[in-house]
Structure 1
């Protein structure tokens, strides 16, 4: 059985190589994304981000390649979002088949039941956006015979035959996460780890830059740290819950941060969590562990520490010009911290404060120092404040 699976994997790899050769010229002929605002332009709404100053060069997304490991509830939606965004190449890894039990999630459809997830995903994604190069690998990345293939694809799978630009982990087990972590640490690949809890009401995304941020082995989960085999935790007849809402939220966070990283806009979250029960979004920075068990992580940390640090000098210039531009709606900004001539704060026309602002601060009130001042006069002065 293993020989058959290995043969299928080899055939899939050869088919992808053939596809690379046959589509090379076609890729060179793909026109640059047009910003023309017409109904027939599938990229006009995306290119509007450039016109509005959010992204400088949105068309660069056609040059990027992203590997998605795990095409389940989070990974399939992640792949769809990136496809609709016009990513240059998607590389999909998974070895499961589509089941009717997956229909409570997004993306997959009942008629795809029985197909491999990567095969079903590629079929759907090509119909959504045929401009995207999609490569599929239907095997388990944690097996010994597939580890080298997985590593080689991440190192050579870009559109220029170099390393992929980003790896997105959407797997549901620690073994696969540590496999991705090991490869990315060894070959210095940037990646995102993501996950949804078994009760389906919380999740997270974690940005991992080898040596600069904490890797997955820097602070391992309790199950791993306790040397517990996670396979022994599964019970017959009991499965994890899943909500398309939670998985959609996590996939959205994942793709949003992937786009910010690739296109260099906004701030990429180091670690972003989500609790659906309270709508709580914890955000934190995770520093690498100098005593990490992964030797390649320690190596990347030393390399990062040896790099010269670039100091960013913020140049602030005072200006008398208004802090807002003239506009056709007559909207203006008012600095409420600046007091007017009468001592009252500036407020919008027709709006009054719920309290009176004294003409002078308490410290500025002049109190007579005469010894003849009576207690009644002092009380009267206090009441006048």
Structure 2
């Protein structure tokens, strides 16, 4: 059982006491990392210049490294020989594509216009966030919620392919065509296919290949039992170290912009909060209604709710500039997404036994999935 289950169910306190110090207090570490990053960005002069000195696709190199460290252990845990079976599940594939590429962008477009109709820069930035489907951090949230790891990798890979193909077309549709049909102001934006491809290759391709090779070579050399019982428990905590490191740097990079515009941040945050909660709830309930088990339903929910903030920020900066309102909206995305999706991990684990009472994939006491940073 994960840390979040232990926190949500008082009957699991003995299990909670057995978890590592990092796992037991993960939500606290995330909040502290966000606060520390904001303070660094606000009170350390020139830090943003240092962090931005070297970039990969308009993303700071240190942040890119943090993301790779975060994703590699999760992708090393995946049993890749099971992904073909996952990809053949038409309900899973169809529902995920529907939620990610039709419902998600349409919902974000609606919320952006409802809450930011008088602020075109923030509104455009929010719509761009809605178009960038998650390919990175969702693997962490899914792992913490004891979701289906193999399904998550398949869905993230599908999102990556669609991102390359559909991002520019959807941006044109939601920023120019649809507003024109509705009699609303339109926005002109140029999307670099190269930037999108680079984002996918760096933030998914590198850790995916590394994780795949690690499992193949590890199992070939010493067998699956050694790989999953001895190697992965040592590698696992690095996913959370990478997550905390990334959060500190990300918030430090934009700390001054966030703390200098608290009211604007609040205006952007509200529709984002509603978006994350609605997409997660819709994903979980609809998945359950079509007969998916808890593990797959939670995976669908998290992949639908999360967004690729790395790509959204890169596109906003590349198109509108680093000091633009669009870029600020992209930065506020992870500011809201991180704590909200951590909270939704608790919700998923709490709801698992109520919505899936007889499901073998629901995490239980004494399960082998005892810790998000060590379970294999």
**TM-score (normalizing by structure 2):** 0.23
**Is the radius of gyration larger for structure 1 or structure 2?**
1
Indicate the structure with greater helix content. 2
**TM-score (normalizing by structure 1):** 0.22
